[in-house]
């Protein structure tokens, strides 16, 4: 059973990641000439439970920034504030860009709380550009109220990056940062938020 969030309370998170130019092997955000496309302006979304719209985390009201490349050597972990209500989910997704269908490999998403985790993956070659890439979790996951949780993004068997659309963190929300990159050290990004959806 999914329980709704308390009105007006948003969950936010921070991320850290290695930012690498598409196919260049050098650090940097995606440039304006990167063919990712432009998503519609993000609107405030009232979390809806028991519908196909799912629960969106967080409720983002600002325009998107340039997207961030997630390469095969990157692991991004975003830490969330505790949820005010218990949430049960069988699917999870993140808002991505596929470079107009050029991304490949598997997008892996892992949802964890304390020592419990559930994960799933989806093929990026068939994922929609500028939309939520949804994965089915390997087991129903219950996010227990009043305990912090995290979502981790990585890729498998990928030769090209996937773009993760980035947004400003909603005002007044606490964030934390964790980064793993197997090839180089990259400074964490501040005041950055992704868009997730739980169903």
CATH number for the domain harbouring residue 63? 2.60.120
Q: What is the pLDDT of residues 15-37, one digit of tens each?
A: 333 223 333 333 333 333 344 54
Which residues form the domain of 152?
Answer: 13-198
Within a domain: residue 2? no
pTM of the entire predicted model: 0.72
Per the structure block, which two tokens stand in for 63? Answer: 């325009």
Per the structure block, which two tokens stand in for 50? Answer: 């028991």
Q: What is the mean pLDDT of residues 168-173?
A: 74
Q: Please give the tally of structural domains in the chain.
A: 1
Within a domain: residue 3? no
Within a domain: residue 7? no
Q: What is the pLDDT of residues 99-125, one digit of tens each?
A: 999 999 999 999 999 999 999 999 999
Within a domain: residue 26? yes
Within a domain: residue 192? yes
Rounded CA separation 79/82 (Å): 9
Rounded CA separation 82/22 (Å): 35
Rounded CA separation 190/193 (Å): 9
């Amino acid at each position: 059973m999914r329980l709704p969030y308390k009105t007006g309370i948003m969950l936010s998170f921070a991320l850290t990641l290695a930012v690498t130019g598409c196919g260049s092997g050098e650090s940097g955000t995606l440039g304006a000439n990167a063919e990712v496309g432009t998503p519609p302006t993000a609107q405030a979304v009232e979390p809806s439970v028991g519908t196909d719209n799912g629960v969106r985390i967080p409720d983002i009201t600002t325009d998107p920034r340039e997207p961030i490349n997630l390469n095969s050597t990157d692991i991004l972990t975003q830490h969330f504030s505790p949820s005010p209500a218990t949430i049960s989910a069988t699917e999870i997704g993140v808002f991505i860009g596929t470079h107009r269908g050029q991304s490949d490999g598997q997008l892996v998403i892992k949802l964890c709380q304390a020592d419990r985790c559930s994960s799933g993956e989806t093929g990026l070659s068939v994922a929609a550009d500028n939309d939520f890439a949804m994965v089915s979790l390997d087991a129903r996951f219950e996010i227990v109220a009043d305990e912090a949780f995290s979502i981790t993004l990585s890729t498998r068997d990928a030769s090209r990056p996937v773009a993760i659309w980035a947004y400003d963190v909603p005002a007044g929300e606490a964030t934390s940062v964790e980064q793993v990159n197997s090839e180089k050290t990259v400074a964490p990004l501040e005041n950055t938020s992704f868009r997730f959806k739980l169903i």
